Amino acid sequence: MDERPRTRNSLKTCQKNILFLSLLLPSYLWASVPVLNGPHETVNAGYFQLNWEGEGERFELQEQGGETQAGTRTLYTGPDTASAISGRADGSYRFRVRQINAQGQALSPWSQALTVDVVHHSLAKAFGFFLLGFLVFISTVAIVLAGTRHVSR
């Protein structure tokens, strides 16, 4: 019969302890971790789009890697949930995103890092197509000019 009040008291103590401990822990343990999406295959043109899903109002997107960017840098902070990335040289780039508040403080841990490999087409292939295009263009111009001259005669 005396067990119930004692159990109730111990439950209350336990709840207080949890509440106290929770105040000591970083707030972002309660926020959901954003999910970062991007290209899964190698990028050959140097541009791609990243997008992320999360519950927060603001996000921070970071990039690490590439030939010239050895360190980590923040690409964006704000409310958008996507970013068009371009102008990247060959290299492996890592991206991550997290929720932040208006003061820039973290509200969630970083998302799982997304690695994007950029490998541009070879210059030989590029100039091959360039040459082919040039030939088709010049031939088309030639046939139009020759045809126009022939008709006007």
**Which parts of this chain interact with another protein (CB under 8 A)?**
44-47, 49, 51, 53, 68, 75-76, 78-84, 86-89, 120-123, 125-127, 129-130, 132-137, 139-141, 143-148, 150-151
Q: SS3 sequence, 72-115?
A: EEEEEEECCCEEEECCCCCEEEEEEEEEECCCCCECCCCCCCEE
Letter for the amino acid at 14?
C
Task: Name the residue nearer to another protein (CB basis): 11 or 136.
Answer: 136
Task: Name the residue nearer to another protein (CB basis): 8 or 125.
Answer: 125
Least distance (Å) between residue 105 CB and another protein: 20
Least distance (Å) between residue 124 CB and another protein: 9
Report the C-alpha gap between 148 and 31 in whole angstroms. Answer: 71
